């Protein structure tokens, strides 16, 4: 108790002096000048496959693997195989309807015949049309 009081008393004059100095500085200043704002450097805006890659890595790679090579793992004694989704794999399924079918697969969870995929494949509703196009552009680059 006495120790903390002692410290407080010691600190009080110091706080007073700092306050006085601060107030003095304020009242003598002609006008409040806002602090200089650091220059804002715009982050590069990714587009196309580069944007698609970022979304792929954040939302898809955990299941489909880096570069879309697919993943096989065992959980509760069950072997789960998440399919490869490289261009070659998907092109063999989607043919000339690659873009629309890939978007349907991603957003509705349906395969090339319109049949529902396993529920483990999420039905993605968070992506804008542009983001979906970028993801598909990225999928087409996967070898
Ligand atoms: C939680 C795991 C998981 C995540 C995350 C995931 N997928 Fe899937 N995906 C699957 C599984 C499992 C299948 C296979 C479903 C089936 O065969 O019925 C699949 C199937 C697919 C297929 C169809 C492949 C085929 O052979 O028909 C495509 C395309 C696909 N996913 C794309 C994506 C994209 C793009 C993302 C990210 C936006 C994504 N997936 C995120 C698990 C996932």
Q: How far, in whole angstroms, is CA 9 from its chain's centroid?
A: 51
Task: Say yes or no: CB of residue 135 within 6 Å of ligand 1.
Answer: yes
51 and 44 Cβ atoms separated by less than 8 Å = no
pLDDT over 90 at 79, yes or no: yes
Residues 6+ apart with CB under 8 A from 72: 79, 80, 81, 82
Q: What is the Å distance from ligand 1's center to 88 Cα? A: 15
123 and 49 Cβ atoms separated by less than 8 Å = no
What is the sign of the dihedral through the CA atoms of 92, 111, 114 and 51?
A: negative
Given ligand 1 and candidates 59, 70, 72, 83, which is best to mutate, with the most ligand atoms within 8 Å of its CB?
A: 83
The string of pLDDT tens digits covering residues 86-141 is: 999 999 999 999 999 999 999 999 999 999 999 999 999 999 999 999 999 999 99
Mean pLDDT of the chain: 85
Instruction: Give the residue, by CA position, lying nearest to ligand 1 atom 32.
Output: 106
């Amino acid at each position: 108790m006495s120790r903390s009081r002692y410290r407080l008393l010691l600190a009080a004059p110091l706080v007073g002096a700092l306050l006085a100095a601060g107030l003095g500085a304020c009242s003598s200043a002609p006008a409040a000048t806002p602090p200089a704002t650091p220059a804002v450097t715009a982050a590069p805006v990714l587009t196309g496959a580069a944007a698609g890659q970022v979304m792929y890595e954040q939302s898809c790679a955990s299941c489909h693997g880096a570069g879309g090579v697919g993943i096989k793992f065992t959980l509760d004694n069950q072997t789960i195989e998440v399919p490869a989704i490289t261009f070659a794999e998907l092109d063999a399924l989607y043919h000339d309807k690659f873009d629309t079918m890939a978007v349907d697969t991603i957003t509705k969870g349906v395969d090339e015949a319109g049949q529902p995929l396993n529920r483990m494949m999420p039905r993605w509703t968070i992506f804008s049309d542009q983001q979906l196009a970028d993801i598909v552009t990225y999928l087409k680059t996967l070898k």
